[in-house]
Structure 1
Amino acid sequence: MSKQDKPIGKIAPYTHAAAGWGALRHVAQGMLRERVPPAGIGALLAQNQPDGFDCPGCAWPDRAHASTFEFCENGAKAVAAEATSRRVTAAFFAAPDHTVTELLRQSDHELEHHGRLTQPMVYDPASDRYVPVSWDDAFALVARELHALDDPDQAAFYTSGRASNEAAFLYQLFARAYGTNNFPDCSNMCHEATSRGLPPVVGAGKGTVTLDDFEHADAILIFGQNPATNHPRMLGELRACAKRGATIVSINPLRERGLERFADPQAMGEMLTGGSTHIATLFIQPRLGGDLALLKGVAKRLLEMDDAAALEGAHRLLDLDFIAAHTAFFDAFAADLRGEAWDVLVAEAGVPYAQIAQLAGIYARSERVIATWGMGITQHKHAVATIQMLSNLMLMRGNIGRPGAGLCPVRGHSNVQGDRTVGIEEQPTAAFLDRLRRVYGFEPPRHHGHDVVATIAAMEQGKVKVFIGLGGNFAVATPDTPRTFAALRSCALTVQIITKLNRSALVHGRAALILPTLGRTEIDLQQGVAQGVTVEDSMSMVHVSYGRNAPASPELLSEVAIVSRMAEATLGAGEGQGRDGLPWPAWRGDYALIRDEIEKVFDDFHDYNQRIAVPGGFHLTVAPRHRTWHTASGKAQFAVHAVPRDTPISRARQQHGERLLVMMTTRSHDQYNTTIYALDDRYRGVFGMRRVIFIHADDIAMLGMRAGDWVDVKSVWDDGVERRADGFMLVAYDIPRGCVAAYYPETNALVPLASVADGAGTPTSKSIPVLLFPGRMPEGGGR
């Protein structure tokens, strides 16, 4: 390998604790890299404070919004990204090498670092460039294209989890008044299996715990989650739990550094002495897709232990009183457990029986248990069944609806849960639609709309012709990248409401708009009054957020203003009721009026404006937390699920043998969703590069290769379409044999559009059957 052919980055084991001085150093580097002015740096101290702004990153809750230092490394990166002094102006798009075709050649990392968009732009096909457009003309174009459709269902309204409750509520009201329930949103790609899996068994699609429960838990089981990268502030809670003696177990194919040792930047003692806290006491590494079998095995072992206790007249391990009073279908579930073969469970889990028994023992000894999970659980074909099996396990010992115990799905983007709560839902209930009709005087559409995967298919088929994205980066967040790109390009109009240039603005329809919006960190003045917006975190706390920074450009509009002006241009405006008479101008002038409207539609938001005035906001009712079960039986329901053995992966393995590997996509430490802040993943020992594949050393040998070799990747699917991603370096890593991991969005092209979670439609990005072939280093050295 010649000098110019060497990778730009390097692989070097990381031996330090997570966070600590390394986190503070990377925060400072991020601020310098983005050329953040002093005012933007100072704004960090207002993050997650009662009179400040909510973190624009993850949805982990804040400890009463009262800490003097309540931000994490990735939250600081998100603030730096918004507060950057870099600007994407009309002059940027006019530069000789900035046609859309030329910009598409840049990486996602390069696009991110051009900076903040400053004015609305429209695509000019003659020059292949974005050119300035007035806001009035932009909204007129949206209205004209929507009016030209033959059917409202030919439009799709995508929502990112960064949209506020106020913007999301107006967005769904606009689209439903227009006539469609086509609401693809980011939750379709992450926790949809949670939202669809939990309601039938416990009656609500949300978590049942609050932060206070972590103070009382005896054990915390963390499934398919990497808090150090995805929810760093969660590590502060886990550190406190570990210090008081709670047992923490990590169940994840990757043994993540952040769950081994953590140095809290807010703990002066640890920072000054170089100390750290051990977090997890046990690491269990199931093979990809093995969580359902693992959970069923733990439940089976718990039942066996309880049967033995009953025979001996000893203390029972099951909460029989809870099961009798609060659950249904336990006998059928227990019979299924007794009939399941241990060899099947062990083989499918990829975990030795001894470890399954060890986990069951920890669970049995712990009086109060919290189970948390992330996308390592939800992005599989059998994700709904897995989540319901986890619910089964928690119900067996009454660990739902009591202090210190419960279900804790940890969402990604800061308001992905809130958007769903206020109506971003392609499968709305009849009760919700009835309430909209009573409050607003129009008949909303009753049929279900498209989720993300269905929207892509509908665009391909010419059934969706207008795509409007309220935030996010749809083109690269979604699966089957070439198909998604082609689908977007087939649209008559694509609209991106964004803060920074991303690939979705460049993969556009015949007509296209970039509508730049204020960020969460920026002051939102309407009629001379600073407006606050509200969000709902992963634990159903709703609180208000006020920006602190000056807007990046005087031409920016808020999300609320953009949505309301699109609606006004399309539907008209007035003071009366009916789809053509909704008072859009009044709503965008005073966000408190929008919250009054939300209160009219959703009973749980009563006294909305008064309750968000309290520091920390208020908690939305989650019925199972109070042992109220809104299910078909009126009780929590045990669900019976067989461990599937005839799957696309098992069929592919029968065809290809041990060379068939299962890939999971994951994010690096220097990224948040599709936003690439920098090129390091320091906890995994990757620096200055992204095109890597984490693989067991024995699998490297099985392939006849060596660590550091370059490979091309092809997914195995039965539709005859070749899906490939070329030029990845093999990195030996602690991951189960037969499993590999790589970063998204680089590997999203390998996820077949048809490969989704049963009953949820979530892309199976954590279980992709793949083959590796000898390849070569790509241009750019693996960046």
Structure 2
Amino acid sequence: MHMSWAGIGAKQIPMGKKAKVKDYGGPAGGWGALASTAKHLMFQGIPIKGPMTLMRNNQKHGFDCPGCAWPDPRHASSFEFCENGVKAVAAEATSKRVPPEFFTKHSVSWLLQQDDFWLENQGRLTHPMAYNPETDHYEAIGWDEAFARIGAGLQALDHPDQAAFYTSGRASNEAAFLYQLFVREFGTNNFPDCSNMCHEASGYALIESIGIGKGTVKLEDFHHADAIFIFGQNPGTNHPRMLGELRLAAKRGAKIVSINPLKERGLEKFAFPQSPVEMLTGGSTSISSLYLQPKIGGDLAVIKGMLKHIVAKNEEALVQGKPPIVDQAFIDRHTHGFERFLADIRAESWELIVQESGLNRDEIEAAAEIYLASPKVICTWGMGLTQHKHSVLTIQQVVNLLLIGGHFGRPGAGACPVRGHSNVQGNRTVGITEKPSAEFLDRLQQVFGFEPPRENGYDVVATIEAMQRSDVRVFVALGGNFAAATPDTPRTEAALRLCDMVVNISTKLNRSHLVTGKQALILPCLGRTEIDQQAMGAQMVTVEDSMSMVHGSGGINKPASPQLLSEPAIVARMAHAVLPHSKIDWLGLIQDYDRIRDLIEATLDDFHDYNQRVRQPGGFYLPNSAADLEWRTATGKANFVTAAIPTDLPMHRAEQNTAAPVFNLMTTRSHDQYNTTIYGLDDRYRGVFGQRRVLFISRDDLEILGMQAGQWVDVATVSDDGIERRANRFKLVEYDIPAGCIAGYYPETNPLVPLNALGDHSRTPTSKSIPVVLMPSETANDASAGKKTRKVLEAA
């Protein structure tokens, strides 16, 4: 396998390794994390600049980490960053550049043949670029001309709904607020955003159950919890700073129950890099008191099994004349639907619970006993719960589990969905949604004097479908990598190519820049680590973390190019070009971002005294109605929601001796990536090095298939829409995962996710539950490959 290289001065440092699979026996964190940190700083050519930049990461007078949304204590502690945060900062502060000469040398067609790791690691974009379809090259363009083209393209549409405006969760509150304001004055609510593909189910479920679409805990609640239940989450890779809180909880005796199909090292043991004892002795802290591995999609059955045990124990206590073991006073005062909930739980059979969960009854009851022994319980979850057909109902069972014990409105207890991007929650708070409330639109009209559109807009999947019909003709992306992040990759790319114009606002090169419409523009922007100098001086932006804390972020590094504009400036200049008669002083707003925050304050009551409070140490907390036991639901109370255990999940049929067993595939990240951004080719904790096209599979399934670890297979989706979806050349890796379940990295597996495979209510792609079949890899020039695939699918 060839190595991937990066130029650092005259020296070439290899980043990739020879492809291998090797057991990793160490803990998460520890010396491995420190070595990885040094490697990535060297790889990006910033051995001195990198550490100096990191000293200001998550600091009061520094910048907010551009990685995940996990909060940091006080936003002022030294070295408050993690290994994967270092990768994000290093990738942004890199010494490598992608100037206009790069695009002169490389055609778009050639660039499309390169992998995502190679594209990401070419470096920072330096100039605005416009695609020339006659030469198949991007060419440099001036900012004024770029905005003029965008203005002309949007003004030429028959209706504003023929445009869609995507948002990445890394955009600041200021950029996101200006973006939604511009687009709504333009006349549409077409706001597909990254939330549509990750935690949409969390928001939908929580709003119905407790009246607010956010988690109810603060970081300090982890210091008081007696038990922490972790569903469908891999903090060691996706938000490693969470491991520090879990370590402290475990050391003081809190019980941690991890419920995840894959064995993840970060949930087993962790060596804290800032602990001299653990680092010098080679020690570590055991994290999980109990680790359960249900089948993919079996979480709802697991939770209902826990509830069935709790309800039975409660009824046993009442029969014996003992006090209830559930929090009956809380239930009576604060909840609705309890009797219906009880009837649903009583009617559920243990046979079905065991069958659909993939666990035995003793395992589920052991988790329930930990719950019963814990006065203060936190339930936390990630995309392992949110990217399924039944995600909303599953999350509502998590809420039921908390409600039955009264685990709201008390320290050390509550619901904790852990978001991905560093400001994905803040984007929603300031108005990035395709379904805005009437109250929010009324306030926009009151403050800004225009009538905003009232019809709901397109989410991500609806946008792709609209592009396929040519109902969306202009697509603008504020960050992100839409073409790679979305499902059904070939169909998504084909839809983008039908657009009249595609505009990407980005810091670095990615695949979406190469999937061009008839016109395409790349608008390079400042990164979070860079000084944002405007007319009134250096500016800060603000972000909201997963636990509703809002704080400031100010860059410290010289911009990668003098041609870069900030995201707020790009949005404001677009608005100025598109809306020549607007009453809003768009260009004046970006002279001083305090002016933008004043407008956010005027629009959203929770942001009162915004400019003053965000400058306080640690920022400020946005109030949470459910945490205050205020239930903004239709019933005026927290709602118990009932749900039947689903029996329509992709099942393993090997025991039936079919010609092609159907497996349930979940997409996942490697340790060297963040969403679609590929920092390296290793997945250290899972023992995979120098490669990405792998599938994790159990030993039992290898035996059933008559295959061996290391064998190459092709993967095809089992679907009923008549479309053949296939991804070729994946290496089988034996792993601790339930039989019938396999896992692979995205975006490589995204072509297998059907566009119409969506979660009920949330419309989130079901990327964690894809029915597939495996077959020995075909050679690239085998003309009969498609025919063979169809035969296997027919057998399935």
Same fold judged by TM-score > 0.5? yes
1:35 corresponds to which of 34, 40, 45: 45
* Distance in 1 separating the partners of 2:477 and 2:76: 34
1:537 corresponds to which of 542, 545, 554: 545
1:467 corresponds to which of 475, 479, 485: 475
Gaps in structure 1 of 5+ consecutive residues: 2-6, 574-579
2:603 corresponds to which of 594, 601, 604: 601
* Distance in 1 separating the partners of 2:658 and 2:614: 57
Letter in 2 for 1:48: N
Q: How far 1:628 moved relative to its partner?
A: 0.5
Q: 1:778 to 1:471 in 2, by over 3 A?
A: farther
Moved more, 30-39 or 735-744: 30-39
Q: How far 1:410 moved relative to its partner?
A: 0.2
Match of 1:85 in 2: 95
Match of 1:719 in 2: 721
Contact 1:710 1:777 in 2 (8 A): no
Q: Give the SS at the match of 2:415.
A: strand
* Distance in 2 separating the partners of 1:145 and 1:616: 43
Q: Give the SS at the match of 2:158.
A: coil
Identical-residue share of aligned pairs (%): 61
Q: How far 1:654 moved relative to its partner?
A: 9.1
* Distance in 2 separating the partners of 1:653 and 1:724: 25
Q: Give the SS at the match of 2:630.
A: coil
Say yes or no: does 1:200 pair with 2:208: yes
Say yes or no: does 1:581 pair with 2:583: yes
Q: 1:102 to 1:227 in 2, by over 3 A?
A: same
Contact 1:629 1:635 in 2 (8 A): yes
* Distance in 2 separating the partners of 1:651 and 1:758: 25
Q: How far 1:520 moved relative to its partner?
A: 0.3
Letter in 2 for 1:248: I
What's the TM-score once normalised by structure 1's chain length? Answer: 0.96
Q: Give the SS at the match of 2:495.
A: helix
Contact 1:37 1:84 in 2 (8 A): no
Letter in 1 for 2:744: A
1:36-76 deviation line (CA, Å, top 9, x unaligned) = 26234301010001111000000000101121110100000
Q: How does 1:519-530 map to 2 (within 5 A)?
A: 519-527=527-535, 529-530=537-538
Q: Give the SS at the match of 1:467.
A: strand
Letter in 2 for 1:34: Q
Contact 2:232 2:384 in 1 (8 A): yes
Contact 1:728 1:777 in 2 (8 A): no
Contact 2:474 2:501 in 1 (8 A): yes
Contact 1:696 1:732 in 2 (8 A): yes
1:363-395 deviation line (CA, Å, top 9, x unaligned) = 011000000000000000000000001101110
Q: Give the SS at the match of 2:209.
A: helix
Match of 1:663 in 2: 665
1:82-141 deviation line (CA, Å, top 9, x unaligned) = 11110000111111xx10000000000000010000010000111100000000000000
Match of 2:324 in 1: 316
Q: How does 1:255-294 map to 2 (within 5 A)?
A: 255-294=263-302
* Distance in 1 separating the partners of 2:660 and 2:389: 21
Q: How far 1:274 moved relative to its partner?
A: 1.2
* Distance in 2 separating the partners of 1:682 and 1:185: 31
Q: How does 1:615-694 map to 2 (within 5 A)?
A: 615-647=617-649, 659-694=661-696
Q: How does 1:742-753 map to 2 (within 5 A)?
A: 742-753=744-755
Match of 1:54 in 2: 64
* Distance in 2 separating the partners of 1:653 and 1:445: 55
Say yes or no: does 1:229 pair with 2:231: no
* Distance in 1 separating the partners of 2:43 and 2:659: 47
* Distance in 2 separating the partners of 1:508 and 1:195: 33
Match of 1:250 in 2: 258
Q: Give the SS at the match of 1:221.
A: strand
* Distance in 2 separating the partners of 1:649 and 1:428: 38
Letter in 2 for 1:565: R
Q: 1:139 to 1:649 in 2, by over 3 A?
A: farther
Contact 1:40 1:549 in 2 (8 A): no
* Distance in 2 separating the partners of 1:651 and 1:117: 49
* Distance in 1 separating the partners of 2:649 and 2:736: 25
Q: How far 1:645 moved relative to its partner?
A: 1.8
Contact 1:210 1:539 in 2 (8 A): yes
Match of 1:4 in 2: none
Q: How far 1:311 moved relative to its partner?
A: 1.1
Q: How far 1:658 moved relative to its partner?
A: 7.2
Q: Give the SS at the match of 2:225.
A: coil
Letter in 2 for 1:51: H
* Distance in 2 separating the partners of 1:520 and 1:549: 9
Match of 2:8 in 1: none
Q: How does 1:374-773 map to 2 (within 5 A)?
A: 374-527=382-535, 529-572=537-580, 580-647=582-649, 659-773=661-775
Match of 1:25 in 2: 35
2:362 corresponds to which of 354, 360, 363: 354
Q: How far 1:649 moved relative to its partner?
A: 5.6
Q: How does 1:289-304 map to 2 (within 5 A)?
A: 289-304=297-312
Letter in 2 for 1:130: Y
Q: How far 1:235 moved relative to its partner?
A: 0.3
Q: 1:384 to 1:743 in 2, by over 3 A?
A: same
Letter in 2 for 1:741: A
* Distance in 1 separating the partners of 2:734 and 2:779: 17
* Distance in 1 separating the partners of 2:696 and 2:241: 26
1:436-487 deviation line (CA, Å, top 9, x unaligned) = 1111111100000000011000000110000000000000000000000000
Q: 1:368 to 1:701 in 2, by over 3 A?
A: same
Contact 2:22 2:687 in 1 (8 A): yes
Match of 1:577 in 2: none
* Distance in 1 separating the partners of 2:762 and 2:328: 32
Q: Give the SS at the match of 1:299.
A: helix
Q: Give the SS at the match of 2:512.
A: helix
1:681-717 deviation line (CA, Å, top 9, x unaligned) = 0100000000100000110110111111100000111
Contact 2:209 2:640 in 1 (8 A): yes
* Distance in 1 separating the partners of 2:474 and 2:650: 34
Letter in 1 for 2:606: D
Letter in 2 for 1:518: L
Q: 1:126 to 1:607 in 2, by over 3 A?
A: same
Contact 1:498 1:515 in 2 (8 A): yes
Match of 1:102 in 2: 110
Contact 1:653 1:660 in 2 (8 A): no
Moved more, 59-68 or 30-39: 30-39
Gaps in structure 2 of 5+ consecutive residues: 2-16, 782-796
Q: 1:228 to 1:148 in 2, by over 3 A?
A: same
Q: 1:648 to 1:28 in 2, by over 3 A?
A: closer
Q: How far 1:586 moved relative to its partner?
A: 1.1
1:399-447 deviation line (CA, Å, top 9, x unaligned) = 1121100000000000000000000010011111111111111110000
1:299-336 deviation line (CA, Å, top 9, x unaligned) = 11100010111111234210000000000010000011
Q: Give the SS at the match of 2:73.
A: coil
Contact 2:652 2:663 in 1 (8 A): no
Contact 2:653 2:661 in 1 (8 A): no
Letter in 2 for 1:591: Y
Q: How far 1:651 moved relative to its partner?
A: 11
Match of 1:14 in 2: 24
* Distance in 1 separating the partners of 2:115 and 2:480: 17
